[in-house]
C-alpha cells in the first residue's frame, strides 16, 4: 500500500496490451472533469498520452470514446462510465468511497472505467456497461476481465433502510452483502455486490479481481467522503489500451 497507485497483475499487465491503476491519496494524475489532458510523464510508467475524465452524476450512462481524442477536447454532460477501443486513450473515474471498476476484453481490445456508488450500483451501471461492451464492441462476457478497486468497505460502510430497501428490490441474494448492525441499519459490502452483479451477468469468477481495501479506515492511503464529511479530494483510477508496438 506504500505505492502511489495500486495495480492488479492478475487483471491486466503491459503484456496484455493494457495499462491500469487504482489511485491513492498520493497519486499524481488529475484532470478537470469534462476535459481531456495529456498524462504527465513519469507516473507509474503510464504510456497513454491522453487522459479522459467526465462529470460524474451517480447515474448509469456511459460515454463511448470510439474516435481518437486530442488534448483539450471537452465532453459536455454527465456520465459514470467511460468506454473506449482507442489505443492511447486512458478512461478514468474519480472516487472517495464509491467503487472504481475497470473492465477489459483482451480479444476485442476494448476497456471501460466505471464509477459505482450505491445509487449507480443498484440502478445497474455495471451490468449496463457490460452489455454496452458486448452489444457495441463485440465483447463476450466469458472473455471479460474485471478489477474492483478500493472503496468503503463492509467494516465501516453503514447504510440505512432507504438504501437497504433499494438493495432488496434488485438483489435476491442481498443478505450475503450486508452485515446487520441494528433493526434498520447494516454494513454494506458494495464491492461484493458489484461482483455478484458481474457473476450474474456471466463473468467468470477467476476473471474478477478485487482490491480488499477500505477507503474509510485507511486515512493514510485514501480520501474518504464518509470519514471527512466533505469531498476534499478524490482518487483517480484509469485504464488504457497501449498503442500497438
Convert the pLDDT of each residue in 208-243 to its tens digit: 999 999 999 999 999 999 998 877 789 999 999 998
Per the prediction, the chain carries an average pLDDT of 91
The 10s digit of each residue's pLDDT in 172-185 is 999 999 999 988 99
| Residue 187 belongs to some domain of the structure | no
| Residue 166 belongs to some domain of the structure | no
- For residue 16, what are the domain limits? 5-151+207-241
Write down the pTM of the prediction.
0.93
| Residue 175 belongs to some domain of the structure | no
| Residue 159 belongs to some domain of the structure | no
| Residue 186 belongs to some domain of the structure | no
How far is residue 43's CA from residue 37's CA, in Å, rounded to a whole number?
14
The 10s digit of each residue's pLDDT in 153-167 is 999 999 999 999 999
The CATH number for 214's domain is 3.60.140.10
Q: Please count the structural domains in the chain.
A: 1
| Residue 156 belongs to some domain of the structure | no
| Residue 173 belongs to some domain of the structure | no
User: Quick one: pLDDT band at residue 171, thresholds 50, 70, 90?
Assistant: very high
The 10s digit of each residue's pLDDT in 3-52 is 589 999 999 998 999 999 999 998 866 666 777 776 654 444 444 469 99
| Residue 89 belongs to some domain of the structure | yes
Amino acid at each position: 500500500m506504500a505505492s502511489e497507485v495500486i495495480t492488479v497483475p492478475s487483471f491486466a499487465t503491459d503484456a496484455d496490451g493494457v495499462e491500469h491503476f487504482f489511485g491513492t491519496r498520493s497519486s499524481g494524475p488529475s484532470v478537470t472533469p469534462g476535459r481531456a489532458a495529456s498524462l504527465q510523464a513519469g507516473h507509474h510508467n503510464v504510456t497513454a498520452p491522453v487522459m479522459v475524465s467526465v462529470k460524474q452524476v451517480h447515474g448509469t450512462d456511459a460515454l463511448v470514446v470510439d474516435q481518437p481524442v486530442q488534448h483539450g477536447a471537452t465532453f459536455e454532460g454527465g456520465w459514470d462510465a467511460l468506454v473506449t477501443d482507442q489505443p492511447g486513450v486512458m478512461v478514468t473515474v474519480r472516487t472517495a468511497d464509491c467503487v472504481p471498476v475497470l473492465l477489459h476484453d483482451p480479444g476485442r481490445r476494448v476497456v471501460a472505467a466505471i464509477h459505482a456508488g450505491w445509487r449507480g450500483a443498484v440502478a445497474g451501471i455495471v451490468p449496463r456497461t457490460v452489455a454496452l461492451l458486448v452489444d457495441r464492441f463485440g465483447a463476450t462476457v466469458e472473455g471479460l476481465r474485471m478489477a474492483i478497486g478500493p472503496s468503503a468497505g463492509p467494516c465501516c460502510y453503514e447504510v440505512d433502510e432507504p438504501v437497504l430497501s433499494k438493495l432488496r428490490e434488485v438483489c435476491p441474494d442481498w443478505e450475503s452483502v450486508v452485515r446487520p448492525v441494528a433493526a434498520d441499519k447494516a454494513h454494506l459490502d458494495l464491492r461484493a455486490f458489484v461482483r455478484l452483479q458481474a457473476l450474474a451477468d456471466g463473468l467468470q469468477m477467476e476473471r474478477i479481481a478485487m482490491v480488499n481495501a477500505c477507503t474509510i479506515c485507511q486515512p493514510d492511503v485514501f480520501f474518504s467522503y464518509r470519514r471527512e464529511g466533505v469531498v476534499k479530494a478524490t482518487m483517480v483510477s484509469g485504464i488504457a489500451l497501449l498503442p500497438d508496438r
